[in-house]
Structure formats: C-alpha cells, structure tokens
C-alpha cells in the first residue's frame, strides 16, 4: 500500500513572530495553499491510496471557514484516497471545531479522543485525536493490536519520550513501548523537525512541519511518501516548501557607522527563494537602531535583523581619565555592576552609554 504522511501544517497561522513586515504572514499563508495543491497533485499522479495527517492541520484560534472549504474541496479531488486525520493540540476535536461542525467529504476520517480502528482491505488503521489543547494520556499503554497478521498503522499527535512537564502535556509516549505494540508504521505529528531515517527500518516517524513556520525551522520541509507491505517498508522524503529560511551571522566589529552597516547588509548575496534573518555579532562602535536600519535595506528577502552585539567602549580604561568622559564612564560602570541588574536594564544602560559618548565627542 502507498501512503503520504504529513503533519503540523498550521493552516492560517498568523506568523506573528516571523517578521516585522506585515505582508510576510499573508505570503506564507498563500504558500501553505500552494503546498496543499502540490500534495493533492502528487496523490493524483501517483495513485496514492492513503493520506495520514498527524495533527495541527490548522490553527483553531485563527482558521477561517473559507480555508476549511478550500481544503475540503481539494480532498474531493482525491475521492479514491482514504484520508485519516488525528487532531492535535492546535486543532483539537472540540465542540466548536471545524472537525465537529463542518461536513467533510466522505473519504475523510477524523479520529476522536479514544483509540479507534478503521478496517480497510490493505490494513487496519488506528488513530487518536486530542479533545483539548492538552493531552496527558491517550491510553496507548493498555492498547493491543487486534490482528497482527494485517498491516497495522497508528496515526497520532504527540511527543516521544517527553520528560519535562511541558512535554508531558502533549501526549508523551514511550518509544520503547510503541515499538513493543507491533505497529508496522506509526505516523506522528507535533515535533516540527523531520525524523525518518535515524535508524534502520525506522517506522516511528515525524515528517516535520509541512512548511516552515519561521527561523526556528531551518532546512527542508515537506512530506513522507511510503510504500509498505507486511514486514517491509520503504520511505522517502519529498520537499514541498519552495522557500527556505536562513540565518546569516554578521560580525560588525570592524564597522564604525550605521552607513557602513547598511552598505554591508545591502551587499550580501541572497537567493530569490530565501528568507533571511541577520544576526549582528561582535563589538559595536556605534548605536544600532534596527528599525532605522531596516528602512534602508534594499533586498526585501531580508525580513528580520537581531542585534546581539556587545559594547566596544572600554569603560575600565576611560574611567581613569580626568575628563567628563571619565566621570561618565565611572558612573555607568557603577550602574552596570549593580546587584540584581536585569538584562533589560543592562541593555538600556548600554544604549545610554553609546548615546552619552556620542554626545561627548
């Protein structure tokens, strides 16, 4: 049997932390639709029999009915493909969710909060869905496969070997226990990083997020395409996201002005399919105002700049001068060395030092 496994698409995500540019959220939401179309076209062309969606298909808080209708119309185009959805913590099966109140196409099966089996000619498909934004126990520990002679597949959203309090809130399951259950394939969602070939014949798989949600999800994103028979499994990863998020670390220690920094950034070679986040590092010799700098950046693929530089001014040396600068340096050092100073307060003081020394020139 041939299948596709995806997870964590987060349709209609607001992408609020992606960029200071408002248009970025709209662009990524359009790209989500583009990726959906790619999946449907691949299914048509390759006669894929099963589509497993392992949670967080959409954002419950933000998803629009028009998006759900768009999605369901795509599902209608692959009427011969059996679609199994296991709701996750961002799209739980709750009273007012679209999983509950929307009339989905007949080839769509949405699992609820009790492990359920669907029998098909080729396999027994088991699934579980969140019924809240948290889930501490799906009941898999007490579950047994009914017919081990068939292909058995488990579709679920959750964390493998979650140890922290936060991880345990999102359906933490023991990998050892899952292996002992005897499933031929476990389609997972929740972790946005691809994990499918870390061991020989791996059958407990995270496909990662179908489309990158930001700079904390670097690298390729897409879907798992699988072919399975009893005892054998063949998996491939196919990239779908045409855009790539990249981080550039830029040392500005040798730069002496805002103008030099702007020229340096504008000279960077950037591909047309890259979204760039620039991290400024090193010792800064001038005051940096990110919002001011962004106004002069020519390449619109640069969507975020972060300042992780440190102050280049040697206060310990200047404090010994018998000048106004020396007195100012001594006062600022006293403030920086104060007990219980917060990072936010330190940042404010460092900005004050830059502005002060600039005024004293």
pLDDT at residue 236, rounded to an integer: 97
- Looking at residue 20, what is its pLDDT? 66
Structure confidence at residue 91 (pLDDT): 98
Measuring CA to CA, which residue among 228, 246, 249 is closest to residue 308? 249
Assess contact for 235 and 196: CB atoms under 8 A: yes
Contacts of 275 (CB under 8 A, 6+ apart): 24, 215, 243, 244, 245, 246, 301, 303
Q: What is the pLDDT of residue 343?
A: 85
> 171 near 133, Cβ under 8 Å?
no
The residue among 45, 51, 41, 36 whose CA lies nearest residue 120 is 51
- In a 13 Å sphere around the CA of 39, the CA atoms on its Cβ side amount to 32
What top-level class would CATH report for the domain 2-239? alpha beta
Contacts of residue 274, Cβ cutoff 8 Å, sequence gap at least 6: 243, 244, 245, 246, 301
Give the pLDDT score at 195: 97
Mean pLDDT by 10 residues, the chain (361 residues): 98 84 87 98 98 98 98 98 98 98 98 97 97 96 95 98 93 96 97 92 96 94 97 96 96 95 97 95 90 93 92 87 92 89 88 84 71
Predicted local distance difference test score (pLDDT) of residue 17: 76
What are the extents of the domains in the chain?
2-239, 244-304, 313-361
Class of residue 163 by CB neighbours under 10 A (exposed 0-12, middle 13-18, buried 19+): exposed
């Amino acid at each position: 049997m041939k299948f596709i496994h995806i997870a964590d698409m987060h349709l209609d995500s607001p992408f609020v932390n992606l960029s200071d540019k408002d248009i970025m959220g709209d662009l990524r939401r359009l790209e989500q639709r583009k990726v959906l179309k790619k999946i449907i076209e691949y299914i048509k062309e390759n006669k894929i029999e099963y589509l497993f969606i392992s949670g967080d298909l959409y954002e419950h808080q933000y998803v629009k009915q028009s998006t759900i209708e768009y999605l369901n119309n795509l599902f209608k185009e692959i009427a011969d493909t059996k679609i199994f959805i296991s709701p996750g913590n961002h799209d739980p099966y709750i009273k007012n969710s679209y999983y509950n109140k929307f009339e989905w196409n007949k080839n769509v099966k949405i699992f609820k909060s009790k492990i359920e089996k669907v029998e098909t000619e080729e396999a027994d498909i088991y699934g579980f869905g969140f019924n809240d934004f948290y889930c501490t126990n799906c009941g898999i520990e007490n579950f047994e496969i009914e017919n081990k002679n068939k292909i058995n597949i488990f579709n679920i959203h959750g964390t493998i070997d979650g140890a922290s309090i936060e991880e345990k809130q999102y359906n933490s399951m023991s990998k050892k226990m899952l292996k002992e259950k005897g499933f031929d394939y476990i389609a997972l969602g929740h972790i946005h990083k691809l994990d499918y070939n870390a061991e020989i014949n791996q059958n407990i798989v995270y496909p990662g997020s179908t489309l990158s949600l930001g700079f904390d999800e670097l690298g390729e994103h897409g879907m798992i395409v699988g072919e399975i028979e009893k005892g054998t499994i063949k998996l491939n990863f196919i990239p779908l996201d045409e855009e790539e998020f990249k981080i550039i670390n830029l040392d500005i220690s040798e730069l002496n002005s805002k103008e030099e920094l702007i020229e340096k950034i504008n000279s960077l070679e950037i591909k047309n399919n890259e979204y760039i986040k620039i991290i400024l590092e090193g010792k800064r010799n001038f005051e940096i105002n990110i919002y001011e700098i962004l106004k002069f950046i020519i390449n619109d693929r640069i969507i975020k700049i972060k300042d992780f530089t440190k102050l280049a001014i040697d206060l310990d040396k200047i404090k010994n001068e018998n000048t106004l600068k020396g007195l100012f340096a001594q006062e600022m050092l006293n403030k920086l060395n104060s007990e219980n100073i917060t990072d936010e307060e330190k940042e404010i003081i460092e900005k004050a030092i830059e502005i002060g020394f600039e005024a004293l020139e």
